[in-house]
Amino acid sequence: MTSSNTTDTATARREDPPTTAKKKRSRELIIAQLIGQVALLLAIPVLTRLLSPAEMGIYQTGLSVALILQPLATLRRELLIPFAGVRDARKHRWIGLGFAATLSGAIALVALPAWALGNATLAETLLATALILPSFALMYVENAFLIRHSAQGRLAVRNLVGGVLSAGLQVVAALILPGAIAIAAALLLGRAAATFVTVARRTPSSDVESPGEKKSQRSISAILSAMIAAASSQAVVIVSFASLGPSAAAQVAVGQRVAGAPASLIGQALTQIALSSAAPLIREQRPGMTSQLRSLTIRTGAAAAVTAAALMIGGPLLAVPILGPGWEVAGVMTAVFAVPLSLTLVALPATTLLIPLGRERLLVSLQTVRLVAIVAAIVVSSALTQDVFTTSIVTAAVWTLAYVPLMTAAFTATVAHDRLCAQVVNQSSAP
C-alpha cells in the first residue's frame, strides 16, 4: 500500500508541471504589470511638483476622456482577438488600431478651431486626449494579440517596459517642457516603444485554427457597455473640469487616480489572466468557468478590502508629504473613492467575461443603469448640499452598490456556460 501511494504521488508530481508553469506565468504577468504601473504611479508626485495644477488638470481630464473613448477607439477588438481564428484575429488587430488612429486624428483636428477661437484650455485638453488615446489602443489591442498567441512571457515584458519607460519619459518631458501635451506625448512614445520590441512573432503553430473558435461577436453592445462603465468612473473628473476649471479637476482626478492605483497596478493583469483561463474553455466548450471565477473573486475580494482600508487611512495623511503642498483635497478624495475603486479589482475581471460569453446586451443595460444612478447622485447631491465632499461621498456609495448586479450577472453567465457545456459533454459520451 505504501509503495502504491508513493507511486501515485510521484505520478501526480510528474503531472503538476503544466499547472505549475501556468501559475508561474500568471505570477510573472502580475509582477511585471505591478512594476510597470508602480513606475507610472511614482511619476505622479514628480509631475505634481513640476506641472502647475492647471496643466495637471488638463492632462488628467484628457486622460479621463481617453478612458471613456478607448472602447470606441479599438471597437473592443481586444476582447475578440483571444477567441478568434488566426485570420480573424489579424483582421481585428488592424481594424482596432486603424480606427483608433483615425479617431485620434479627428480629435486633434477638432482642437485646431478651439485654439483659433482662443479657447487654449479646451484645445490643449483635446490634443492631450488625441495623444493618450492611441497609447491605450496599442496597449489593449497588441496585448490581446499576445494573449491569442499564448505569449505571456512577452506580455509580461511589455507590461514592465511600457510602464517604466513611459514614466521615465514623462518625467523628462515635464523637466524640459512642463505641459499636458508633452507628458501625453511621452506616454504614447513609451508604450509604442515597448510594443515594438515585444511584438508577437509568427510561428507555424500560431497559424493553426482551433476548433470551436468564435468567428464573430456583437461589438456594439461591448463598446457601449465599456464606454458607459468608464463614464461612470470618470464623470466626477469631467464635471469638475467643466464647472470648476482645470485646477479643481486636478485635485479630484489625482485623488481618484491614487485611490484607483491598486486596480490600475494589477487590474489589467487580472483581466488578462481571467481571459487567458476562460479562452480555452470557451473555444473548446468545456465547463469549469464558475469555479475559476469563484476562486478569483475570493482572492481579489480579500485584496480589495485591505486596499480600501489602507487608502482611507493613508490618503489624507500622506497627500501633502507625497504630492506636495496644496494637494490636501486630493488626499480627502482618495479616502472618499477608496472603496468603489478598490472593488474594481473584483468586478473588472468578472464582468469582462460577459463579453465572450455573449452577454453584451445585458452588460450594456447594467452599465447604463449604473451610469444613470451615479450621474443622478452627482446632480441631486450637489444641488441639495452645494458641497463637493458630500457629493463625492454619495457618489461613492451609489458606485459601490452598483457592483452587486454586475457580479450577479457574471456568475449567472458562467453557471449557464458550465451547464450547457456539461450537457454537451454528457451527450457526446453517451453510448
**Any domain includes 179:** yes
> Among 106-115, 140-149, 242-251, 369-378, which range has the highest average pLDDT?
106-115
324 pLDDT more than 80: yes
82-108 per-position pLDDT tens digit = 888 888 888 999 999 999 999 999 999
Question: Strand, coil or helix: what is 382?
Answer: helix
**Any domain includes 9:** no
Please report where in the chains the cell 523637466 appears, as a residue. Answer: 175
**Any domain includes 280:** yes
Q: Looking at the structure, tell me whether residues 182 and 225 fall in a common domain.
A: no
Percent of the chain with pLDDT over 90: 44
Q: What is the mean pLDDT of residues 258-281?
A: 78
* pTM, rounded to two decimals: 0.76
361-407 per-position pLDDT tens digit = 888 888 889 889 988 888 888 778 877 788 889 889 999 999 999 99
Q: Looking at the structure, tell me whether residues 173 and 36 fall in a common domain.
A: yes
Separate counts of helices (H) and strands (E) for the chain: 17, 0
Q: Which residues contact 300 (CB under 8 A, 6 or more apart)?
A: 270, 345, 346, 349
> pLDDT value at position 321?
94
Q: Looking at the structure, tell me whether residues 187 and 287 fall in a common domain.
A: no
Q: How far apart, in whole angstroms, are the C-alpha atoms of residue 147 and residue 9?
A: 33
Please report where in the chains the cell 448586479 appears, as a residue. Answer: 405
Q: What is the mean pLDDT of the chain?
A: 85
CA angle 385, 52, 160 (to 5 degrees): 100
Return the closest-CA partner of residue 147 out of 23, 287, 273, 270: 273
Q: Looking at the structure, tell me whether residues 262 and 323 fall in a common domain.
A: yes
> pLDDT value at position 186?
97
Instruction: Enter the DSSP assignment of 402.
Output: T
Contact 367, 231 (CB under 8 A): no
Q: How far apart, in whole angstroms, are the C-alpha atoms of residue 29 and residue 6?
A: 34
Q: How far apart, in whole angstroms, are the C-alpha atoms of residue 354 and residue 278?
A: 11
Q: What is the mean pLDDT of residues 109-129?
A: 94
> pLDDT value at position 233?
84
Domain boundaries, position 35: 24-200
Q: Looking at the structure, tell me whether residues 168 and 225 fall in a common domain.
A: no
Q: How far is CA 317 from CA 50, 320, 335, in A?
A: 22, 8, 10
Contact 247, 323 (CB under 8 A): no
Q: Looking at the structure, tell me whether residues 132 and 277 fall in a common domain.
A: no
Q: Looking at the structure, tell me whether residues 365 and 270 fall in a common domain.
A: yes
**Any domain includes 352:** yes
Total tally of structural domains belonging to the chain: 2
Q: How far is CA 397 from CA 105, 109, 306, 330, 377, in A?
A: 38, 39, 18, 18, 9
Neighbours of 318 (CB within 10 A): 14
The secondary structure of 240-257 as a DSSP string is: HHHHH-HHHHHHHHHHHH
